[in-house]
């Protein structure tokens, strides 16, 4: 049996007296989209930071592609990351942004690949700051996968997008997920129900339930993923704020 793409084993993460994650365990064995779902402050970003190699756990261990992150160099060539607030230099154009990521990963004709995948071939001379929210997110994701990573980590990629842009981004991610393991942090349960193959429900730093989206719906006898979430996590959770 091959090693899991992602293995999180009894992971904890503390910031001083604040416990952001507590005893979180799960594994992902195949490409597809896994939604990390919970309210703001639930620990979603902390979990992605650990998986992206930006922080170390306070307890437990993490492994990517069969190698523990505390025992081997971080596999950056095999991972793509889009943070909640991507850094973009002032006045950089769409084409220059694409060229930068193509150069970082040493991908021949990578800039054109990024622009084509983001559907921005005709907008290369436009400043990134002038793109719509949906266009910018497509650019960021396309740049993050120009080197064909096996794992893509996304932190609230559709936050602030209008419904049409959110749907277009979701369709883009579904295409990528045919060959890529995508971990998507969000508190939008409607979006997650539409695009996620698997879901992790996290509240207060603890994993409340995880599994295939359809199985979570069935086991909770729920008509929607939102109903399933509240079944497992309690009716008093505020999805747009901290858990109460």
pLDDT digit string, tens, across residues 73-113: 999 999 999 987 777 888 899 999 999 999 999 999 999 99
The pLDDT of residue 82 = 94
Residue 220 three-state SS: coil
Measured CA to CA, the distance from residue 149 to residue 99 in angstroms comes to 18
Query: Domain total for the chain?
Result: 1
How far, CA to CA in Å, does 62 sit from each of 13, 153, 243? Answer: 12, 15, 26
The pLDDT of residue 137 = 92
Answer whether residue 198 is part of any domain: yes
The pLDDT of residue 35 = 98
Q: Among 20-29, 41-50, 86-95, 143-152, whose mean pLDDT is lowest? A: 86-95
Answer whether residue 244 is part of any domain: no
Answer whether residue 74 is part of any domain: yes
Mean pLDDT of the chain: 92
Answer whether residue 243 is part of any domain: no
| Residue 236 scores a pLDDT above 70 | no
The pLDDT of residue 198 = 98
Q: In this structure, what token pair is assigned to residue 131? A: 């793109």
Contact 12, 57 (CB under 8 A): yes
| Residue 243 scores a pLDDT above 50 | no
Answer whether residue 239 is part of any domain: no
pLDDT tens per residue across span 169-228: 999 999 999 999 999 999 899 999 999 999 999 999 999 999 999 999 999 999 999 999
Answer whether residue 241 is part of any domain: no
- Which range of residues forms the domain containing residue 57? 6-233
| Residue 244 scores a pLDDT above 50 | no
pTM of the model: 0.93
Answer whether residue 238 is part of any domain: no
Measured CA to CA, the distance from residue 102 to residue 96 in angstroms comes to 10
The pLDDT of residue 159 = 85
- Please state whether 117 falls in left (phi above 0), alpha (psi between -120 and 50) or beta: alpha
Cβ–Cβ contacts within 10 Å for residue 116, how many? Answer: 13
Half-sphere exposure of 7 (CA within 13 A, CB side): 14
What CATH code is carried by the domain that includes residue 51?
A: 3.40.50.300
| Residue 242 scores a pLDDT above 50 | no
The pLDDT of residue 187 = 87
The pLDDT of residue 83 = 86
Q: Which position has the higher pLDDT, 187 or 58?
A: 58
Residue 240: pLDDT band (50, 70, 90) is low
Secondary structure string (H, E, C) spanning the chain: CCCCCEEEEEEEEEECCEEEEEEEEEEECCCEEEEEECCCCCCHHHHHHHHCCCCCCCEEEEEECCEECCCCCCCHHHEEEECCCCCCCCCCEHHHHHHHHHHHHCCCCHHHHHHHHCCCHHHCCCEHHHCCHHHHHHHHHHHHCCCCCCEEEEECCCCCCCHHHHHHHHHHHHHHCCCCEEEEEECCHHHHHHHCCEEEEEECCEEEEEEEHHHHHHHCCCCCHHHHHHHHHCCCECCCCCEC
CB burial readout 16-28, b (16+ within 10 A) else e = eeebbbbebebeb
Answer whether residue 1 is part of any domain: no
**Torsion over CA: 34, 37, 40, 41 (sign):** negative
């Amino acid at each position: 049996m091959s090693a899991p793409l992602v293995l999180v084993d009894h992971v904890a993460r503390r910031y001083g007296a604040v416990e952001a994650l507590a005893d979180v365990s799960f594994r992902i064995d195949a490409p597809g989209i896994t939604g990390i779902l919970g309210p703001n402050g639930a620990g979603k970003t902390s979990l992605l930071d650990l998986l992206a190699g930006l922080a170390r756990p306070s307890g437990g261990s993490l492994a990517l592609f069969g190698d523990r992150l505390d025992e081997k160099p971080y596999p950056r060539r095999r991972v793509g990351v889009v943070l909640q607030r991507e850094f973009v230099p002032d006045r950089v154009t769409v084409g220059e942004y694409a060229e930068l990521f193509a150069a970082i990963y040493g991908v021949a004709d990578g800039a054109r690949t990024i622009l084509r995948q983001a559907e921005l071939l005709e907008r290369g001379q436009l400043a990134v700051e002038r793109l719509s929210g949906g266009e910018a997110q497509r650019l960021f994701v396309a740049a993050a996968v120009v080197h064909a990573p096996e794992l893509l980590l996304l932190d609230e990629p559709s936050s602030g997008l209008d419904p049409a842009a959110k749907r277009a981004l979701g369709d883009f991610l579904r295409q990528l997920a045919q060959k890529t393991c995508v971990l998507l942090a969000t508190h939008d349960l409607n979006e997650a129900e539409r695009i996620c193959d698997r879901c992790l429900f996290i509240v207060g730093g603890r994993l409340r339930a995880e599994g295939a989206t359809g199985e979570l719906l069935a086991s909770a006898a729920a008509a929607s993923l939102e109903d399933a979430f509240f079944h497992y996590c309690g009716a008093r959770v505020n999805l747009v704020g901290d858990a109460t």
